[in-house]
Amino acid sequence: MTKRVGIASDHGGYPLKVELVPWLQAEGYDVVDLGAHELDPLDDYPDFADAAAQAIVSGQVERAIVFCGSGAGASIAANKVPGVRAAVCHDTYSAHQAVEHDDMNVICIGARVIGAEVARELITAFLTAQLLDGEKYHRRLKKVAAIEQRSLK
């Protein structure tokens, strides 16, 4: 089971992050808050998506949650880091299926799109899902990794 979870947001997601950190801790997760640590309307989502991505690739956390206004900017930025598989998920099916099929390790959520209760359901679906052990999933993930490697050359 996933235990170490990173959480990050820009100003667009900050109020939702503040609300959900105590809940995640109460659920038994070791939460690493990667910022923002204050509400700064001038902060930039790539900084926090990068912090979450680095925490994933360094092994500091097993999975990460990033909030911005829409989830889109956070997803775009986090996916620039090799080894990150991030997606915007605003429905529970995607939140667990993207782990089960695609080994998603960062969920991106738009705090201007959904409320706290839906966010709790998405995060629960994300954190309790596991990659399925089927040959087709591993084959597809190898193809994704090959695209990443080719692009790094």
Nearest-approach distance from CB 114 to ligand RB5, in angstroms: 13
Q: Which is nearer to ligand RB5, 112 or 138 (CB)?
A: 112
Chain positions 69 to 98 lying near ligand RB5, rule: CB under 6 A, are 69-70, 72-73
Chain positions 15 to 54 lying near ligand RB5, rule: CB under 6 A, are 45
Can 101 be counted among the known catalytic residues?
yes
Distance CA 132, CA 26 (A): 27
Can 89 be counted among the known catalytic residues?
no
Q: Per CB under 6 A, does 14 bind ligand RB5?
A: no
Nearest-approach distance from CB 129 to ligand RB5, in angstroms: 24
Sheet holding 4-9, edge to edge: 30-33, 4-9, 63-68, 106-110, 86-88
Nearest-approach distance from CB 50 to ligand RB5, in angstroms: 14
What residue spans of 13-68 are helical by DSSP H? 14-26, 45-58
Catalytic residue among 37, 90, 101, 108: 101
Q: Please state, in angstroms and as integers, the Cα–Cα distance from residue 50 to each residue in 14, 83, 137, 149, following that order.
A: 16, 12, 26, 19
Say which amino acid occupies 84.
Answer: V
Mutual angle of helices 14-26 and 116-128, in 10-degree steps:
50
Distance CA 109, CA 94 (A): 12
Q: Which is nearer to ligand RB5, 3 or 80 (CB)?
A: 80
The residue ranges that bind ligand RB5 (CB under 6 A) are 10, 12, 45, 68-70, 72-73
The catalytic residues are 68, 101
